[in-house]
Chain A
């Protein structure tokens, strides 16, 4: 059967649409002039990025710290939650399930505003702690979804088999459920780290002065207009991400094929 030519054209135009901004971004990171007209190759913006922008790197480390800690918390809480919701029935199960998935469907700004109002009301002023709590909260539903779908692949009779063979509850959890769900736990953690590194809207609401993350810092740079330092930064981030993905290939293989 002949494939539709129309869908092919749309698909390749879409690829161009998706990649063009990145290509422009990367190319002009190596431009000599500050403007978007090409004047010559230069690494001056990279030099500027690494020497004259210490606040970027402070924000960068904040981002890493928040991402790892909030992803770890969300993964731990969410994994247990998914096990409970998927394989057990108990009172208030519907409530827990609904309320835990709800942050997923609300626009970020709603979560940002409500958390800001909550933190102000609770008198919590520590910026990084606020960001950590906010990130853990919006990461929870992602972890929950990933793990629930992972656990769905297994039949409940596996748990029954473990009990049948003499395992008590904690042994079933530690020796069967968690090892079995491990690929799901790792991918949930990676997704949570990514979501946390990505987030701008919620962070910008809850973070006070002096506790910005990388996206919040980038925002303050680009609000005032085009700066090739941002281009250089995006090249570094792109390269870093690509390198990380490359290094973690065996890991991804483990996740997808066990």
Chain B
């Protein structure tokens, strides 16, 4: 009988992800059902306090804000990314445009956030410009609210939405649009009824690539948000871990985010099931 080299090859990886990913996530799950320790950590007593805390008005407000910001950012990103992906896919200068989309992301993530601080800050570029043009007398507070967070989130995740859309639109057979026009559809109708259904997988990827990180956003709201309406679940977790030292509550919130994320992913897998099955059939 031949040895199964598949399990030998995957052993190091299986070991690593089990120990350093699965076990930590399971610990978090476990901690969420325990009593909080006095100075951080946990006391080994079963408790649902962490989940009960989720019913507080404050938590519900933060959850609502998080959903509002992440859903709106996702929708805006998609609305911008769709025409961009379409234009790039139809253009003759595809690789140039791809390169241009990626360039801004060769700088560090934090430096990109910082650039927005420098633009939107009270003594920032935009306020300076507006004052110099005489449009305003005193600075406007652009930063530290939900709108600043949304702008920077859209900015941060736009390429992650454009790239999958671009690649599915690029594979789309544009003669189908001509066929639709030939059969009497208007240009918008042909796009809506023929192209959109055919690039569904790209749209779903774009939505997920934007929604998942924005729902769990931490650094962006920390740096350009922070007000009552721009404090998100990610910030709550960090505060509970580092400041309030309520580890079970931080754990429970993490579990909530994990569940929402995996549910979104599950929907994605479900939506792609038929396609995946077809692909698998091809491999056999």
Please tell me whether chains A and B touch each other in their complex, using a CB distance cut-off of 8 A. Answer: yes
Give A contacts to B, CB under 8 Å.
1, 3-4, 6-8, 10-11, 14-15, 17-22, 24-25, 28, 35-37, 76-78, 80-81, 83-85, 87-93, 95-96, 99-100, 102-103, 105-111, 113-118, 120-121, 133-134, 136-137, 140, 144, 169, 197-198, 200-201, 205, 214-215, 218-219, 222-223, 225-226, 230-231, 233-234, 237-238, 241-242, 245
Distance A193 CA – B213 CA, assembled complex (angstroms): 20
A118 touches B111 (CB 8 A): no
A109/B17 contact (C-beta < 8 A), A4-B187, A14-B80, A219-B110 known: no
Contacts of A17 in B (CB 8 A): 155, 158
- Known contacts A21-B119, A83-B9, A106-B261; 6 additional CB pairs below 8 A are A22-B115, A77-B13, A100-B17, A106-B216, A118-B27, A245-B106
B21 touches A137 (CB 8 A): yes
Q: Which of A99, A215, A237 contacts B17 (CB 8 A)?
A: A99
Interface residues on B, range: 35 or more
A113 touches B21 (CB 8 A): no
Name B12's closest neighbour in chain A (CB-CB): A77
Shortest distance in angstroms between B284's beta carbon and chain A's nearest beta carbon? 11
A113 touches B213 (CB 8 A): no
Name A91's closest neighbour in chain B (CB-CB): B7
Shortest distance in angstroms between A165's beta carbon and chain B's nearest beta carbon? 17
Distance A230 CA – B31 CA, assembled complex (angstroms): 39
- Interface on chain A toward B: helix, strand, loop, or mixed SS? helix
Q: Which of B12, B14, B22 contacts A92 (CB 8 A)?
A: B14
Which 10 A-B pairs rank lowest in CB-CB distance, beginning with the nearest? A107-B216, A88-B6, A84-B9, A81-B13, A21-B115, A118-B24, A84-B10, A114-B24, A7-B83, A90-B6
Name A202's closest neighbour in chain B (CB-CB): B218
Shortest distance in angstroms between A125's beta carbon and chain B's nearest beta carbon? 15
B124 touches A90 (CB 8 A): no
Contacts of A25 in B (CB 8 A): 111, 114-115, 118
Asked if B25 lies at the interface with its beta carbon under 8 angstroms from chain A, I say yes
Name A37's closest neighbour in chain B (CB-CB): B128
Contacts of B254 in A (CB 8 A): 109-110, 113-114
Asked if B193 lies at the interface with its beta carbon under 8 angstroms from chain A, I say no
